[in-house]
Each structure stands twice: as C-alpha cells, then as structure tokens.
C-alpha cells in the first residue's frame, strides 16, 4: 500500500472511530432535555465528518474533493462546538473521555484543514 493510500485508510478508520466514540460517550451524558438535543446535534456532526471524508475520497475531481473537504472541516468544527457546550453546561461526569474526544476532534480538524488548504492552493495555483 502506498503512503497516500495508507493515510486515506487510516483517516477513514480514525473518523469512523471518532464517530463511534462520540455515540458511546453521548450515552453517558447527564439525562435532561438539553443533553438530548445536544446529543442529536453532536452525533450528526461527528458521523457526518467521517461520511463526508469518505465521499471526498471518491470524488471525481479536485474541485469536488475540495468541496467535500469544506464540509468535513465544518462538521468536525461543529463537533468541537457541541463538545464545548457539554463542558460549559456540565453535562458530563466523564472528563477523561471528554478531553480525549476534544483532542481527537482538534487533531482531525487540523489534518482536514491542511488537506483542504493544500488542494485549494493546487486548484488555484496559489502560494500562500
């Protein structure tokens, strides 16, 4: 397997694991009306991150790849937002897992943003 293929495979696995970990984590939140709404939004964003990354990987052009990566970056950012709401609203008693999810979301965000920027530069022949 080539380096690029290995990277793509690892990122597919990583984004799927993030989604599954978020789903499991949401089951541990303090039960209230707000947590059910936040759980719904967080699970949508976390699962969409991986689904849209997979879609980007089978895109037909660099422009389509860029478009899908924009969605991936939006969704992982939204995941970080909902995780921060959970922290600020004290909806979780499992700080270690919450911190691990925050760290993973941040790392995935940095990787996906870098990938999106690289493709944008290539599409537009920019050097910034």
Return the number of other C-beta atoms located less than 10 Å from residue 28's C-beta.
13
Domains and CATH numbers, the chain: 3-120 (1.20.1440.60)
pLDDT digits (tens, 9 = 90+) for 45-63: 999 999 999 999 999 999 9
C-alpha separations of 113 from 13, 24, 100, 117, 124 in Å:
18, 26, 20, 6, 16
pLDDT digits (tens, 9 = 90+) for 73-93: 999 999 999 999 999 999 999
Report pTM.
0.92
């Amino acid at each position: 397997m080539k380096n690029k293929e290995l990277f793509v495979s690892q990122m597919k696995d990583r984004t799927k694991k993030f989604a599954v970990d978020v789903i499991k984590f949401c089951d541990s939140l303090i039960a209230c009306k707000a947590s059910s709404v936040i759980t719904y939004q967080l699970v949508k964003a976390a699962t969409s991150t991986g689904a849209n990354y997979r879609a980007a990987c089978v895109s037909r052009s660099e422009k389509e790849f860029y478009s899908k990566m924009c969605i991936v970056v939006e969704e992982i950012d939204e995941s970080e937002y909902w995780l921060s709401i959970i922290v600020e609203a004290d909806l979780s008693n499992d700080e270690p897992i919450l911190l691990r999810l925050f760290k993973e979301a941040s790392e995935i965000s940095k990787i996906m943003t870098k990938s999106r920027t690289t493709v944008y530069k290539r599409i537009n022949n920019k050097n910034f």
